Structure 1
Amino acid sequence: MRTLYFDCFSGISGDMVIGALIDAGADPVQMEEELKKLNMDEEYNLSWGKVVKNGITSTKFDVILTSKSDQTHEHSHSHELEHSHGHSHSHSHGHEHSLGHEHNHSHVPHSHPGSRTYKQIVEAINEANFNESVANMSLAIFKKIGEAEGHIHGLPLEKVHFHEVGAVDSIIDIIGSAILIDQLGIESVQSSAIPTGSGHIHIDHGIYPVPAPATLEILKGVPIASNDIRSELATPTGAAIAAVLAGNFGSLPPMTVESIGYGAGTKTFENHPNVLRVIIGETQ
């Protein structure tokens, strides 16, 4: 059985997943074409390339918002600075935390350009005519995040609101990951325990503990690994991808390894490479 293993020794985020899958041999150009089915491609540009993290060559994947997504220069700038992960959010809210951390502001109209409700995202996925596997994976991951955010903020799922900075990024990260996993012919997914990091992050609601409440809610039933890194290692999107897709959490299963990929986070840590490793191979 063709198996994908997430080796999350430095956490997991949506863009680290995509970077690692590209690094393992998936085709980002085909993914970019598939994502056009969402009719959102005027709102973002995608970039990917090789970087070296503490001696490991890895692939960094970025979603860069365009002016068409109605971002102010300041928003776009902070978005790129904070794009991924293991970051401290010290000078602005990071994009994945905007996901759900603004949706309960009643003064934000649902029609605001760039912002999307959970319901609108589900409709966009259903209308895009992805293949069944991609659609099902994407919908399940969004539901996991939406339910967690709704639980934290006391909102029913249909009222959960994805803020514009978080929405576009998370849509690309989640659906892009599903497209690449489908493209690679993965039949089962396993994962290591998820290290969440520790410390505090600054978001729109104030100073929150790490793991953030939504991340912890998403990881209910998933083994969490402890380490002493004072930074956010698992984002809500990364946590949801692992929680929804992985059928088993533990050490690397017996497998014949076929390909390996390293996906880079934005932060650089002193003592270890801030990358997500994916291992793809045949298990019994």
Structure 2
Amino acid sequence: MKTLYLDAFSGASGDMFIGALLDLGVDIAQLRTELQKLPVHGYTLTADRVAKSAIYGTSFDVVLDHGEKDHGFIEHHHAHGAGDHQAHHGRHLHEIVDLITASDLSATVKRHAIAIFNDIGAAESRVHNVPLAEVHFHEVGALDSIVDIVGSCICLDLLHVDRVKCSTIADGSGFIEVAHGKMPVPVPAVAQMLSDRAIPVQQHPEVHTELLTPTGLGIIKEFVTEFGPLDAQSAVQQVGYGFGKRETGQFNALRAMILTTSQSQKQTAVGHDQVTLLETNLDDQTAEGLSFAQEQLLAAGALDVYFTPIQMKKNRPGVQLSVLVPPVDRDRFVTLMLKDTTAKGVRYTTFERTVMQRRFETVTYQGLPIRLKVATYQDIRRVTPEFEDCKVAAQKLDVSLETVMAAATALAR
């Protein structure tokens, strides 16, 4: 399973998120191509790889032709002069939604982007006590903010991860200047957005500015499915940094990591837990389609996926697709099964189970590392060498696979 982990030790914003994903390898040329499907103009994307505090990362920005940035929320009935720049560049929420809906962006990008705009819009409406239809947005209506939000959805789509996890999110303290004057940190829109979901945010009193923006929080709320620290079962494959623009007095970046987790390499310390069995019967799916579904489900983190030949109505041969998952992931895998198979429904049951405690250790056989899976339960102990490591050793040493596996097992503590 491939996970994007966001280490938000200095908060999050739209440009930091995009910068971090570009630093992980998302192609800015692809981002530009996708953004051209959105019918807006008057901006240029910049992405510079620079060093801050001797650490290299990517500084991303949306440079507007007219040179100004967004100015935050204002009410629709706010008075403007005939040439007021803000009045020209703000948009109502329905205008933004119509803009995205009418574009040639993928359905996935459209859905996520509209959800983020709706979330921020609802918070602004609540904070300022006006109907959503009477709110004139600059935080989400200005051109650079539209590009930040839609661009974030595009970048994540291009990254091809199975899930997004995030650390506790840092924010600053004190007050900042916005369109309505001085506002406390977290800014009112962020505080309101935190009210409908349990999201861990920690203020840092030594930082006297905003670290978590409404756009940054909107992105996190839309994509993150779990909050917490790095776990021992995940291997870090890549690290990227997206730099923020504010001077905070500390290293201001969003760190993004690509983690991989194999269910076969997870350590377990509990002897009893629960597992949910999802099942569906299929009689109209091709063999290629079944293989693809199995690959997708395993890549998404299923504990096991297997097929059972069955006889269905009208004497049709079929297969029963069975998927074992942690109970907390039930709904996610139901969605995957309905998406990647011809199933019209999925049944499920949760079971108690007893599992052997599992840990990993590494031994050395003729100079080559071999990982061992050690499973124990009461006085039962079972050691299994990692097949891929044994295969590599057998090929390099020109000996049989059985020789390597037996020797590695004998070396186990």
TM range (shorter): 0.7 to 0.9
Are the counterparts in 1 of residues 96 and 141 from structure 2 also a CA contact under 8 Å?
no
Structure 1: how far apart are the matches of 2:252 and 2:138?
27
Structure 1: how far apart are the matches of 2:160 and 2:31?
14
2:74 alignment counterpart: 102
Structure 2 letter corresponding to 1:171: I
Structure 1 letter corresponding to 2:202: A
1:50-93 per-residue CA deviation (whole Å, 9 max, x = no partner) reads 121212111001111113xxxxxxxx25x3xxxxxxxxxxxxxx
Structure 1 letter corresponding to 2:236: V
SS state at 2:56 partner: strand
2:239 aligned with 1:260:
yes
Structure 2: how far apart are the matches of 1:164 and 1:278?
24
2:141 aligned with 1:141:
no
Are the counterparts in 2 of residues 53 and 275 from structure 1 also a CA contact under 8 Å?
no
Are the counterparts in 2 of residues 102 and 161 from structure 1 also a CA contact under 8 Å?
yes
Are the counterparts in 1 of residues 237 and 260 from structure 2 also a CA contact under 8 Å?
yes
Structure 1: how far apart are the matches of 2:96 and 2:141?
12
Residue 164 of structure 1: CA displacement? 8.2
Alignment CA distance shift 1:55-1:140 (3 Å) = same
Match of 2:218 among 240, 252, 258: 240
Structure 2: how far apart are the matches of 1:143 and 1:258?
34
Structure 2: how far apart are the matches of 1:12 and 1:259?
19
Are the counterparts in 2 of residues 53 and 268 from structure 1 also a CA contact under 8 Å?
no
Structure 2 letter corresponding to 1:226: Q
- Where do 5+ consecutive residues of structure 1 fail to align? 68-75, 80-94
Structure 2 letter corresponding to 1:2: K
2:93 alignment counterpart: 118
Structure 2: how far apart are the matches of 1:139 and 1:25?
25
Structure 2: how far apart are the matches of 1:159 and 1:277?
37
Residue 10 of structure 1: CA displacement? 0.6
Alignment CA distance shift 1:154-1:141 (3 Å) = same
SS state at 2:95 partner: helix
Count how many residue pairs are aligned between Structure 1 and Structure 2.
254
Match of 1:227 among 197, 204, 214: 204
Residue 160 of structure 1: CA displacement? 2.6
1:193-250 per-residue CA deviation (whole Å, 9 max, x = no partner) reads 1112101011121111111100111123211113221111001101111122111111
2:128 alignment counterpart: 153
For normalisation by structure 2, the TM-score amounts to: 0.58
Alignment CA distance shift 1:105-1:210 (3 Å) = farther
2:55 aligned with 1:56:
yes
Structure 2: how far apart are the matches of 1:154 and 1:5?
36
2:99 aligned with 1:131:
no
Alignment CA distance shift 1:30-1:107 (3 Å) = same
Alignment CA distance shift 1:134-1:209 (3 Å) = same
SS state at 2:88 partner: coil
Residue 165 of structure 1: CA displacement? 9.0
Structure 2 letter corresponding to 1:64: V
Are the counterparts in 2 of residues 6 and 277 from structure 1 also a CA contact under 8 Å?
yes
Structure 1: how far apart are the matches of 2:61 and 2:134?
28
**Greater CA radius of gyration, 1 or 2?**
2
15-24 or 196-205: which moved more? Answer: 196-205
1:45 alignment counterpart: 44
- Where do 5+ consecutive residues of structure 2 fail to align? 262-300, 302-413
Return the structure number with greater relative CO, CA threshold 8 A, min gap 6.
1
Structure 2 letter corresponding to 1:107: A
Are the counterparts in 2 of residues 114 and 164 from structure 1 also a CA contact under 8 Å?
no
SS state at 1:49 partner: strand
Structure 2: how far apart are the matches of 1:28 and 1:159?
36
Are the counterparts in 1 of residues 74 and 135 from structure 2 also a CA contact under 8 Å?
no
Alignment CA distance shift 1:32-1:53 (3 Å) = same
243-252 or 205-214: which moved more? Answer: 243-252
1:21 alignment counterpart: 21
SS state at 2:183 partner: strand
Q: CA RMSD in A?
A: 2.0
SS state at 1:116 partner: coil
SS state at 1:123 partner: helix
Residue 112 of structure 1: CA displacement? 4.7
Alignment CA distance shift 1:269-1:126 (3 Å) = same
Alignment CA distance shift 1:212-1:164 (3 Å) = closer
Are the counterparts in 2 of residues 103 and 163 from structure 1 also a CA contact under 8 Å?
no
Are the counterparts in 1 of residues 140 and 146 from structure 2 also a CA contact under 8 Å?
no
For normalisation by structure 1, the TM-score amounts to: 0.83
Structure 1: how far apart are the matches of 2:48 and 2:91?
29
Q: Identity over aligned residues, as a percent?
A: 41
Structure 2: how far apart are the matches of 1:56 and 1:166?
33
